[in-house]
Amino acid sequence: GNESGYGPNHDALAGWIRGYDPTRPLHYEGTVSRNHGQSWEDGKLSSDITCPMYPTIAEIVDYANDPHATRPLIMCEYAHSMGNSTGNLKEYWEAIESHHGLQGGYIWDWVDQGLRKTDENGVDYWAYGGDFGDEINDKNFCINGLIWPDRTPHPAMYECKKIFQPVKLTAVDLAAGQLTITNKYDFSDLNHLVATWEIMADGIIIEQGDLMLPATPAGQTMDLAVPVKLDALPPAAETFLTVRLKLAQETAWAAAGHEVAWAQFALPITAEAWPMIPINEAAALALQEDGAACVVTGEKFRLVLDKAAGRLTSFVYEGTELIAAGPALNVWRAPADNDGFKDPLPSWPMQLLPQWLEAGLNDLVFETESVTAELVEPHMVRLTVQSFVHGRAQSHGFKHTQRYTVYDSGDVWLENTVEADKKLPSLPRVGINWSMPAGFEQVTWFGRGPHENYSDRKEGAAVGLYDGTVAGQYVPYIMPQENGNK
């Protein structure tokens, strides 16, 4: 159990249980809860396991390295999966698998416990505390799962699947196609799996085939050879080897072809840098500047920068307007549940969200300090904007420099330098935000996907060339929040 305090009554209960059934280990989080004044070495009478709640990675590693620690450690709760969350799971498991005595943990929790309701417009939605006329409720704190109430997976579930997969592939010598395969099953060999490999260059699959898997007994590691010939591959900026293991036959729980494990490796190929910007020697640029704007005109395009706003207001290429709102500094995103989205509690001041709001990160003021325009050469114009950006009614903020290099081809290279005041809190996001006109709905990207992923939750998203719609990137978390990052 957990979250029920700790006292001599728990020790007495544990004593009765041990006398009634001495074969079972006991687990009770309260014995090591620092909220109740306990240490991780306390409570041995009531718990055979050190079972902290939401420890940091550093804390569990310190415990594993403590020569006085005598009990295995299993986190009774970790990786709080409320809404868009479950970050750093890879780092937790790197620590667990590399330190003796760390045995894992229980993600809180499995399923969003919402109930289907229908609103006044006939639209179904998932309801939670307060949606039933109940005035005493816990609001959306029953919406903590890795899957939605209808059992479809959140994007975080793909991260769990990858990290918990029962087969591990490790690179030994990629240039020679040498890997090792580790069977993490406790009892089964790998005869129920089939393997394939593919090589992808800049998002395009250029070679693929089947692999002969060694049987690999449970708990064992064996060599695995992949027919990679680097000298036969075409030059590319990024080349990846991907190996996939799938069920050979249908089982009671999945169809034949279900992917059980996969791994992806960047191949050590050095390609000559390709020219990024084509130069049109026949078409010189025209730069016009007055007190209101800088206008750059080329053979196929026209670009306008508003000097007062310090932003692009128009970029027409071959007759099509590409900008609805020009590039601007963005340090905000919709808060997620774990940022402190729930109604204020005693811990509210310690959450990130109130710090962001106090700093005004959601309501920025842009002050243009200078705009310069330079015809560097007939085929290149450079526009530089210096700005001070701060939260409304706040004096500390960001020094922001935008440097546009405009080429006669119509390509624009934008460099941003952002210097944040040290008084600011940890930032939710740092980037550039701009909008395109309605109608630009298709999106293609080379990167991780196809599902939502973040810098701290990307292990389960393979690098590839993906496409979709802008609307299709939306993830319908029950409590609306930040979503859809790639």
For the chain, the C-alpha Rg in angstroms (whole number) is 28
Q: How far apart are CA 338 and CA 353, in angstroms?
A: 9
**Other Cβ atoms within 10 Å of 74 Cβ, number:** 18
The answer to whether 242 touches 197, Cβ cutoff 8 Å, is: yes
Catalytic option among 29, 41, 59, 77: 77
For CATH 3.20.20.80, list the domain ranges present in the chain.
8-160
CA angle 129, 130, 134 (to 5 degrees): 100
Q: How far apart are CA 448 and CA 429, in angstroms?
A: 19
For CATH 2.60.40.10, list the domain ranges present in the chain.
165-266
Of residues 471, 469, 473, 474, the one with CA closest to residue 442: 469
Q: HEC states along the chain?
A: CCCCCCCHHHHHHHHHHHHHCCCCCCCCHHHHCHHHCCCCCCCCCCCCCECCECCCHHHHHHHHCCCCCCCCEEEEEECCCCCCCCCCHHHHHHHHHHCCCEEEEEECCCECCCEEEECCCCCEEEECCCCCCCCCCCCCCCCCCCECCCCCECCHHHHHHHHCCCEEEEEEEHHHCEEEEEECCCCCCCCCEEEEEEEEECCEEEEEEEECCCCCCCCCEEEEECCCCHHHCCCCCCEEEEEEEEECCCCCCCCCCCEEEEEEEECCCCCCCCCCCCCCCCCCCEEEECCCEEEEECCCEEEEEECCCCEEEEEEECCEECCCEEEEEECCCCCCHHHCCCCCCCCHHHCHHHHHHHCCCCCEEEEEEEEEEEEEECCEEEEEEEEEEEECCCCCEEEEEEEEEEECCCCEEEEEEEEECCCCCCCCCCEEEEECCCCCCEEEEEEEECCCCECCECCCCEEEEEEEECHHHCCCCCCCCCCCCC
Domain 165-266, CATH among 2.60.40.10, 3.40.50.620, 3.40.47.10, 2.40.50.140:
2.60.40.10
pTM of the full structure:
0.91
Cis peptide before 343 (omega within 30 of 0): no
Q: How confident is the model at residue 373, as a pLDDT?
A: 98
Going from the first residue of the chain to its last (486 residues), give the mean pLDDT of each consecutive group of 10, the final group possibly shorter. 88 97 95 87 93 96 96 97 97 98 97 97 96 92 96 98 98 95 97 97 94 95 94 87 98 97 93 65 87 96 97 97 95 92 64 91 97 95 98 93 95 96 95 94 97 98 97 97 96
**Torsion sign (Cα): 272, 277, 283, 284:** negative
Q: How far apart are CA 243 and CA 245, in angstroms?
A: 7
77 is a catalytic site residue: yes
**């027919």: which residue's tokens?**
227
Catalytic option among 3, 358, 367, 374: 3
Q: Which fold has domain 8-160?
A: TIM Barrel (3.20.20)
The answer to whether 476 touches 124, Cβ cutoff 8 Å, is: no
Contacts for 310 with CB less than 8 Å, ≥ 6 apart: 366, 368, 371, 385, 387, 402
Q: How confident is the model at residue 349, as a pLDDT?
A: 67
For CATH 2.70.98.10, list the domain ranges present in the chain.
286-332+360-428
The answer to whether 329 touches 399, Cβ cutoff 8 Å, is: no
Token pair, residue 179, equals 């890997």
57 phi, psi to nearest 5 deg: -60, -40
Q: Which fold has domain 286-332+360-428?
A: Beta-galactosidase; Chain A, domain 5 (2.70.98)
Q: How confident is the model at residue 282, as a pLDDT?
A: 66
Token pair, residue 423, equals 């008084």
Token pair, residue 460, equals 């389960």
CA 246 to chain centre: 25
Q: How far apart are CA 49 and CA 63, in angstroms?
A: 13
3 is a catalytic site residue: yes
